[in-house]
Amino acid sequence: MNPRAIDRPWAGVWALDQAMDRRYARPRTVGITMVIDSGLGVAATEDLLGVAAAHIDHWKFGFGTSALVPLAVLSRKLECLAAEDVITYPGGTLLEAAIMQQHCRVFMRRAKALGFRAVEVSDGTIELPKDRRRRVIGCAIDAGLIVLSEVGSKDPTHQPEPEALAEQAALDIEWGSQWVVIEGRESGEGIGVYDSHGGIKQDYLETIVSHLGENANRLIWEAPKKSQQAYLIQRFGPNVGLGNIDPGQVIALEALRSGLRFETLSSIAEQNRKTRRWDPAQVESPFVSALVEAE
């Protein structure tokens, strides 16, 4: 499913069609929207997919939550998500706990058997030497799973330098990771590219991007706050990868991406005014209006 396959309520209103067409269609490798699920039930999952499946690419069962729900509930949710071609994975913290017990291969086999399509490889809590990290990524690939890796620390007092973070991201891609998630946690404060108030540390962000070059489009920025999402969309365009999106904010984020919220429409309007593509004083032609209404 993708936005172009939906019966659009506002189809024929050219400006709104153009806004929605700013987005790449699913399935896509860039412009990912990753939802973080901290414990939705089956009915809530089905309801969300009913209105927003076209706008969801990845579904992460946050941290260790998938280990704490009944198997029947997890299985049903995974079935619903698979039916909508959404890539699913348990949070990286759960894999870190398994690695501590030397259960990496067992974890990968179980993830595959449960119906997850991917895993997230991270070391946000535990120490994971580079060689061990490479082998974990290989273990997941051998199990037939898609690999995402996450770079950065969850501890606000021990944050890596942006150069080190970018170097690890580049290595992960070389080792087989399809996407790299930039740690931002659920708070979006005091972690990675975010300061203690949730603002963007621009120099930190730009260092990561410049070091990764063309691979920067493989990044998924964890951005739980609307202000962060708006900044990243304005910086990289509507097809930037964004993660840790609250389930209830999926449609709101898509509106932001499409230029249908103040934070992004205002900049589009100003640009169009400066380039004379739009004149605030110009009156709509009755002839054009009649043509649109006749379609």
Amino acid 8: pLDDT: 75
State the architecture of 3-261 in CATH terms.
Answer: Alpha-Beta Barrel (3.20)
pLDDT of residue 277: 75
pTM for this one? 0.89
With contact defined as beta carbons under 8 Å apart, do 169 and 212 qualify?
yes
Question: Cβ distance 183 to 175 under 8 Å?
Answer: no
- Residue ranges covered by each domain of the chain: 3-261
Round to whole Å and give the CA distance between 76 and 100: 29
- Give the model confidence (pLDDT) of 79-103 as tens digits: 999 999 999 999 999 999 999 998 8
Whether 70 contacts 99, CB under 8 Å: no
- Output the pLDDT for position 294: 54
Say yes or no to pLDDT of 66 above 80: yes
Question: Residue 17: is its pLDDT beyond 70?
Answer: no
Average pLDDT over residues 59-75: 96
Asked if pLDDT for residue 127 goes beyond 70, the answer is yes
Give yes or no for residue 13 having a pLDDT over 90.
Answer: no
Residue 1 pLDDT? 41
Q: What average pLDDT does the segment 11-20 reach?
A: 65
Nearest to 219 by CA among 166, 174, 264, 267: 166
